[in-house]
Structure 1
Amino acid sequence: MNIIVACTGGLSTSILVDRMKKEAESRGIECSIEAIGKPEIDKKIEEADFDVMLLSPQLAAYESEIKEKASENMVIELIDMVKFGSCDGHATLNLALELCGK
């Protein structure tokens, strides 16, 4: 499973992504989790090489625009502000798994 976590610059997601990776490893879940910045979102959508793209709360104003660029089968969802703010790797990984039906 390929998970992308996007924020405005790609930096504020690094702690969250690290915690998500540790959580996945501790649960024996094989997945790739990558942090990207807003400038990379269009490329990732074009490549369609992800199972789920999670957007940081800072991208809430762009959520509709981002989803319009994606195909209907692409899973793109905004991360809850509390999960993001607390860098809750457990809850955010669960969100990604739930969105992918796993």
Structure 2
Amino acid sequence: MKKILLVCAAGMSTSMLVKRMLAHASTINETVDIQALSIAEFDSVIDTADIVMLGPQVRYQKTQVENIVQGRVPVLVIDMKHYGAMDGQAVLATAFEAISKSNQ
């Protein structure tokens, strides 16, 4: 099971995106665990994640997150277009691709 951590300013704006990602995962028979947390909370669960995806509103904190993660998992900023459209399929595909590349 892939564990995806979505990080945003307050942990709330990504809840709809999480629902859409889970719905798409279900249609393609993938089991995923997706958590949406605030930037202040994510480091408590980083050791269980396969990827950290930042909401566009916190992209300026990518370096800070990368310093905390220390290369253990990929850290990506969610494409603003996909985030704005709440395109769970595209965001999930991006996550799977990054996880796959990091495991090679």
Please give the range of the TM-score, normalised by the shorter of the 2 chains.
over 0.9
The aligned residue for residue 101 of structure 1 is: 100
For 2:28, give the aligned amino acid: R
- The count of aligned residue pairs is 100
Structure 2 counterpart of 1:55: 54
- Using the alignment, how far apart are the partners of 2:72 and 2:38 within structure 1? 22
CA distance in 2, matches of 1:44, 1:77: 17
Amino acid at match of 2:49: F
TM-score (norm: length of structure 2):
0.91
Taking the aligned partners of 2:71 and 2:36, their CA distance within structure 1 comes to 22
Cα distance in 1 between the residues matched to 2:54 and 2:45: 13
Residue aligning to 1:30: 31
CA distance in 1, matches of 2:43, 2:31: 25
**Aligned partner letter, 1:22:** A
RMSD after superposition: 1.2
SS of the residue corresponding to residue 5 of structure 2 reads strand
- Determine the C-alpha separation between the residues in 1 that align with 2:43 and 2:32: 22
Identity %: 31
Q: Where does structure 1 differ by over 4 angstroms across 4 or more consecutive aligned residues?
A: none
SS where residue 90 of structure 1 aligns? helix
- Alignment correspondent of 2:87: 88
Structure 1 match to 2:67: 68
Partner SS, residue 42 of structure 1: helix
